[in-house]
Amino acid sequence: MWEVLGLALGLTLILEGLLPLLSPGQWRAMFTRLTQLQDGQLRFVGLCSVGLGLLTLLLLS
């Protein structure tokens, strides 16, 4: 189980690092826009992210 968790964490870090690596200006602009969102909007983005992650896990398992 720990091996799978480690692989998932490693893949997440790779995917999260691609945009700042390939296009730092666009990543900075996106991050700036995210900091201007209201708390409720950020929570909705987080909820959608969790939902998509769960859906992906259900479909792939």
pLDDT digits (tens, 9 = 90+) for 10-34: 999 999 999 999 999 999 999 899 9
pLDDT at 44 over 90: yes
pLDDT for the residue 18: 94
Single out the residue of 14, 3, 13, 12 nearest to residue 56, CA to CA.
12
Domain boundaries, given as residue ranges, for the chain:
24-61
pLDDT for the residue 9: 92
pLDDT at 41 over 90: yes
Whether 10 contacts 3, CB under 8 Å: no
pLDDT for the residue 48: 95
Kindly report the pTM of this predicted structure: 0.67
